[in-house]
A and B are shown apart, each in its own frame.
Chain A
Amino acid sequence: TQLLEQSPQFLSIQEGENLTVYCNSSSVFSSLQWYRQEPGEGPVLLVTVVTGGEVKKLKRLTFQFGDARKDSSLHITAAQPGDTGLYLCAGSVGGATNKLIFGTGTLLAVQP
């Protein structure tokens, strides 16, 4: 069973602060994605990373895929209240099937 552990589980910060969320596993993934979920809605894709060591930027969000493709991080610069939500990493398992497993989630609250 592949497991994706996220840390921290909860994060409450003030507007303007920086933060990093981690996603770790002992398994290797063919690609890794980050999603954000708001209350009452399904998760929505933020980014996909596929190459070990890859870094992608999306405005104030920076995503990194570990060299060994077992871990990832999400860094938010100058957080805003609109960043509040549940952040989930998700890994694709290679092979003939397309299994997609999700991490344990990080609940972020940005206070104005």
Chain B
Amino acid sequence: DVKVTQSSRYLVKRTGEKVFLECVQDMDHENMFWYRQDPGLGLRLIYFSYDVKMKEKGDIPEGYSVSREKKERFSLILESASTNQTSMYLCASRSGQGGEAFFGQGTRLTVV
């Protein structure tokens, strides 16, 4: 069974903390994505990666960075968490253009 695994389902962090969200896929996919999901806004793309060590900014990259040192792992980093980064974060992977995107179950992050 194919799988995208996010390290935490729920996280509570304090303002100013550095936060790491981890995502691992077991499908040997080239492409991995980080989205945040807020009511009424759908999924907004933060960053994506199309190969190891390759990354591109999505539509809302401010306040975030990413790391892809290995093909199966894509990490999202909040350099200094702020309350407006409270959200549901979803990781996805897919093999190529037009391919199905497989999602993790999401991390609900609350910044207090």
Question: Chain B at the A interface: mostly helix, strand, loop or mixed?
Answer: strand
Residue in A30, A42, A48, A50 whose CB lies within 8 Å of B104? A42
Q: Count contacts on B: residues with CB < 8 A to the other chain.
A: 29
Complex contacts, A59 vs chain B, CB 8 Å: none
The interface-forming segment of B12-20, B35-43, B75-83 is: B35-43
* A104-B41 CB under 8 A given contacts A1-B59, A42-B90, A97-B56: yes
- Is A6 interfacial (CB-CB < 8 Å)? yes
Q: Count contacts on A: residues with CB < 8 A to the other chain.
A: 30
Complex contacts, B48 vs chain A, CB 8 Å: 97-100
Complex contacts, A33 vs chain B, CB 8 Å: 100-101
Residues on A facing B (Cβ under 8 Å): 1, 4, 6, 9, 30-31, 33, 35, 40-45, 48, 50, 88, 90, 92, 94, 96-105
